[in-house]
Amino acid sequence: MGSNGVSKKDGANPPGVGPLTSRTVSIDGQPTQVRLEPSYWEALDDICRREDLAIDELFTDLRGRLDQQTRRAPRSASTVSIANAARVFIVGYYRQAATETGHDRAGHGRGDPLNSTPFADAAPGKKGSGTH
């Protein structure tokens, strides 16, 4: 079993990709079940370490900001789940940190946007991709 709790079999999903995983987080002191893909939980754990926050603090802040947006624009934000808000937050967090130097180091901009992602080794025609 891998470090993300997902069994790794021959031909299995790339690391961080798998079925939704539930965790219970405390939002304003209320236990709340949140279902996210393993890669999103890993990202949240990384962000919390970097920002010196507990995951409960991050979710409480996220819920507060989501509620504030809902009050400002009731129709557009009222159906946003905390899991969807977490996904949007994670993408926004990392997009703000992305730099041209970082993209260059990752090999981006060379016609293979999946390079340096969990899907890089699963490209058609690559050994171990499960294609023949």
Q: Which superfamily does 21-107 belong to?
A: protein bp1543 (1.10.3990.20)
31-77 pLDDT, tens digit per residue, is: 999 999 999 999 999 999 999 999 999 999 999 998 888 888 766 54
- Asked whether the predicted pLDDT for residue 3 surpasses 80, the reply is no
Radius of gyration of the chain (CA): 18
Closest by Cα among 37, 76, 81, 92 to 59: 81
Report the predicted TM-score, pTM, of the whole model to 2 decimal places: 0.73
Give dist(CA 72, CA 75) in Å, integer.
9
